[in-house]
Amino acid sequence: MSSPAQPSGLAGQAASARTSAPNVAIAGVTGAVGQEFLTLLADRNFPIGDLKMLASSRSAGKTIDFKGKTYTVEELTEDSFEGVDLALFSAGGSQSKKFGPAASAAGATVVDNSSAFRMTDGVPLVVPEVNPEAVKGIELGKGGIIANPNCSTIIMLMAVNPLHQAKGVKRMVVSTYQAASGAGAAAMAELEQQTRDVLAGDPVTMDIFPFQYAFNLFSHNSPMQENGYNQEELKMVHETHKIWGQSGENKSAVTATCVRVPVMRAHAESINLTFDQPVTEEEAIALIEQAPGVSLINDRANNRFPTPLDASDKDDVFVGRVRRDISQPEGVGLDLFCCGDQIRKGAALNAIQIAELLL
């Protein structure tokens, strides 16, 4: 229902104080999210002074065209950030841990897309439509690290936060259907190759996942924990509490089951909610329709609800199948289904929106 939000509120206040375009570095520019950074920076007319394109040594020397200019990719090192005001990181957790603090120490404000700093005390974990106040006091070019949440957490909270703000989420049960894009460009290529292999009757190529991905699904490939949850599921639990500013007995109860499905791009999630206050389907739909960055597809008569293809290459998170949970006392339970592009809102777009808050 909404177009990409331009800087306003906190962003507008910061923009009035800044007189020059920030110098920007992109760490991990050759990956799927790094490439999406470039697309979105251009599409959203993000102001850029100088631009550095950074990646691993194996990608150094490659050239990338951006807005009519050809850039040479440089190797990401601790010395890459002199004069940089904004560093967008999507180079993986180990690289973020190694080079993020160096970038911050050099004066760059880091927006990191990995899990490296999400649960670190003092590091804001931000979804701009949910908790923009978390970046208050951070200035571009003055250092600091801001964490981009997990893609599944972002997509979930875009759908649920409008309801939580109005009625209070007491408990949330989510099951995810996660696309290959969440595992990077190599996983997307493997799904495409496996599909060809299966249809041709050839042996299936398996370099990324230990299971056949095409025409199959399996538990999310993040490391399994002793309690039976995998890391992806626990990220959704703990990140939700941090973003909502919840602690102790005031935490919403959250549980998740994450599954990898043979979809190229855009995650889907089935969400069951229990509220502190009664909410009707009509109230819920109205709240969702009014939410920035969210679009409603909820046509019961034609069984038309969000699909990953609806969300692919789109900025909004699409929500539908809004219905009362008949297993709970009337009014306090709700079910819904949502889809969001993992590379855009689940990663690159959210990071750039965070940067827009700082302009």
CB-based contact 76:56 (threshold 8 Å): yes
Nearest to 358 by CA among 173, 162, 146: 146
Residues 167 and 110 in one domain: no
Considering the chain, what percentage of its residues have pLDDT values greater than 90?
A: 92
CB-based contact 266:339 (threshold 8 Å): yes
Among the options 164, 220, 258, 267, which is catalytic?
A: 267
| Mean per-residue pLDDT of the chain | 94
Which pLDDT tens digit goes with each residue over 239-274?
Answer: 999 999 999 888 999 999 999 999 999 999 999 999
101 within a domain of the structure (yes/no): yes
Region 120-125: what's the mean pLDDT?
A: 97
Among the options 151, 258, 338, 339, which is catalytic?
A: 151
Residues 227 and 140 in one domain: no
Nearest to 320 by CA among 328, 312, 311, 330: 311
Residues 189 and 338 in one domain: yes
Q: Is the pLDDT of residue 313 over 80?
A: yes
Region 188-199: what's the mean pLDDT?
A: 97
Report the 10 Å Cβ neighbour count for 200.
8
- 241 belongs to the catalytic site: no
Q: What is the CATH number of the domain that holds 38?
A: 3.40.50.720
pLDDT at 348: 97
Residues 112 and 179 in one domain: no
pLDDT at 14: 41
pLDDT confidence of 18, banded at 50, 70, 90? low
pLDDT confidence of 47, banded at 50, 70, 90? very high
Region 216-229: what's the mean pLDDT?
A: 95
**What is the DSSP track for 156-167?**
HHHHHHHHHHHH
Residues 269 and 186 in one domain: yes
Q: What is the CATH number of the domain that holds 262?
A: 3.30.360.10
Structural domains in the chain (count):
2
Residues 168 and 254 in one domain: yes
5 within a domain of the structure (yes/no): no
Which pLDDT tens digit goes with each residue over 154-177?
Answer: 999 999 999 999 999 999 999 999
2 within a domain of the structure (yes/no): no
Report pTM.
0.92
1 within a domain of the structure (yes/no): no
Which pLDDT tens digit goes with each residue over 318-335?
Answer: 999 999 999 999 899 999
Q: Extract the runs of DSSP E, i.e. beta strands, from 56-168.
A: 63-66, 69-72, 74-75, 86-89, 109-112, 145-147
> Residue 310 is part of which domain span?
153-342
